[in-house]
Amino acid sequence: MARTLADALKEVLEDDNKISKYEAKVIRELIMADGVVSEEEKSSLSKALHNNEFDEEAYTLLSGLLLRSNMKD
């Protein structure tokens, strides 16, 4: 079953409204599964980062991924 990044973000936020380092690694793997960060994935990730939905380690992990993907464009 293919899951979207938005679905995955919603699912990991259900328990405590924060994304942990472990959950961030799972999300990173989901994003990088096809080797490309799509516009939809960038949008979902940007929104979650803006809403401060990550603990500090998760924020660092995923903001770095977003930054690298934006530099490639």
Break the chain into its structural domains and give their ranges: 5-72
How far apart, in Å, are the Cα atoms of 64 and each of 2, 41, 60? Answer: 25, 14, 6
Please list the residues that pair with 54 across neighbouring strands: 19
Maximal CA-CA distance, the chain: 34
pLDDT per residue as tens digits for the range 6-32: 898 889 889 898 999 999 999 999 988
pLDDT per residue as tens digits for the range 32-65: 888 888 999 999 999 998 998 899 999 999 999 9
Six token digits for residue 7: 């679905």
